[in-house]
Structure 1
Amino acid sequence: MPREMRSSSDVEYSPVGEGFGMREFWLYVWLRRVSVIAAHIISVGLFILTSILSRPGASLFSWHPVCMSLGFGLCMTEGILLFSAEGSPFCFKSRKWKVRLHWFFQALLLVCGATGFSFIVASKNISEHSHFTSWHSLLGIGTMAATVLQAICGVFLIFPKLISTQSFPRLKLYHATCGLVAYLLVTITIMSSMFTDWFQATVKGTMWYIFLMLPLFPALVVMNQITSAFLPKKKITS
């Protein structure tokens, strides 16, 4: 067939192009699926292990790591990953239901965060220890502030009549950006908690290093999901 008479379909269904393209596509999909499933497992596992280590009910302080790991470690992760198309246990096809479930997780996150904060304040008041003297506590305050700011952006998205219609598209980007910053702060705060006297006295040796590395994986998955969804994509032209 002459070159000028070949249609675009002849190139599109070329055996070589199809082979390389499909292999790369399926590999990418399965890697994303495995990564999302692993992020779910790690988040649930960290919450369960933290609950076992803290022995809730033994003291006022024991409820602090339980509430914080439930809210920031589990609910926040699940509230973001439910929008992932690969490996999410929430199989709602309707985005409306995904948004509602997202708000449920975020509301539970705020309740758990406020409860955990109250327990640590009460515990330090009883023991007469100073407040906000460690990096972990200062990071925790910053994380709470970023989470509240992200929630405020979300409220405006649910009730768009409260703001100008022109700023609504940008608000989605602001909401996602605040969520990403808040999640990164959560990861750093969780990792900093492993340098506290309580955690180092409870977990030692190789297990301590494993605990230190585990929060990084869900953070990478969440960061990839948010940036892939909201960053502008370049149009590739031949």
Structure 2
Amino acid sequence: MPGDVEYSPLGDGPGPRDDWLNSWLRRAAVLAAHATAVGCTLSLALLARPGTSLFSWHPMCMSVAYCLLMTEGILLFSAEGSPFCFKSRKGKVRLHWFFQTLVLILAATGLGFIVGSRTVSELPHLASWHSLLGAATLAATGLQAACGVAVVFHKQLRLSFPPARLKLYHATWGLLVYLLATVTVVAATFSDWFQATVKGWAWWAFLLLPLYPALVVMNQIINAYLPRKKISS
């Protein structure tokens, strides 16, 4: 028998009907992730009422950066359900760069507003789990951006790592950054401001909804970069 035959534990695999159903389920899942990201961002923006205080701009900037732009910057590479499916791979990479640049700008702006707000109010910095996780997320986002630069300018920087491995590192670290950002957003629901603003079932919705796009993003990255195992006969 020939070697390196791809092994499937499910026999001959799904039929055409199952392929069609799975494709539509994946598309529906990605579209739901888009809707959840947009819904969470708009809801947090309305709750923050930007302009009413120095602090109000912090949740506004951070929700747009991480809940919306970072999510869209990853999901645009999805084959199913992406509004950017008509773009070429090169176009998607450029759009990804654009989104991630906006993430950095808005994250830095949001950081400036919260530092300014707490300084004016004479409140201590890094005094909660949310603030500590937020600082870690910002640092990880900066490292992820540096990794992206290494991927794009591999030849110019004369790096010894193979491009394929750099892309794998970039995707893996990007997933970790996104999951860390999701945990930070969830931690924000336990802050004094949020619990004073949102109560009852709405609080539970804000607690759980950010987890759904994270599951879709995690599934997309794992399926794209997890190597297929082969068994030699």
Q: What is the TM-score normalised by the length of structure 1?
A: 0.89
Q: Does 1:92 align with 2:92?
A: no
Give the CA deviation at 1:236: 7.0
Change in CA separation of 1:18 and 1:61 when aligned onto 2, cut-off 3 Å:
same
Further displaced range: 117-126 or 24-33 = 24-33
Q: Distance in 2 between matches of 1:190 and 1:119?
A: 17
Q: Distance in 1 between matches of 2:14 and 2:134?
A: 47
Q: Could you tell me whether the CA contact under 8 Å between 1:64 and 1:117 is conserved in 2? A: yes
1:54 match = 48
Runs of 4+ in 1 over 3 A off after TM superposition: 17-20, 235-238
Once structures 1 and 2 are overlaid, which stretch shifts more, 126-135 or 87-96? 87-96
- Report 1:1-238 matches (<5 A): 21-161=15-155, 162-235=157-230
Q: Distance in 1 between matches of 2:214 and 2:13?
A: 33
One-letter amino acid matched to 2:187? S
Deviations 1:117-174 (A, max 9, x none): 0000000000000000100000001111111111101001111120325432211111
- Within 2, Cα distance between the matches of 1:203 and 1:237? 57
How many residue pairs get matched? 222
Deviation at 1:56, TM superposition (A): 0.3
Report sequence identity in percent: 63
Task: Report the 3-state secondary structure (helix = DSSP H, G, I; strand = E; otherwise coil) of the residue aligned with 2:15.
Answer: helix
Specify which structure has the bigger relative contact order, considering alpha-carbon pairs within 8 angstroms and separated by 6 or more residues: 2
| 1:225 partner amino acid | Q
CA contact (8 A) 1:187 1:216 kept: yes
Contact 1:92 / 1:98 at 8 angstroms: preserved in 2? no
Q: TM-score, normalised by structure 2?
A: 0.91
The structure with more helix, counted as a fraction of residues: 1
Residue type matched to 1:95 in 2? R
The CA RMSD measured in Å over matched residues stands at 1.7
* Alpha-carbon distance in structure 2 between the residues aligned to 1:143 and 1:166: 25
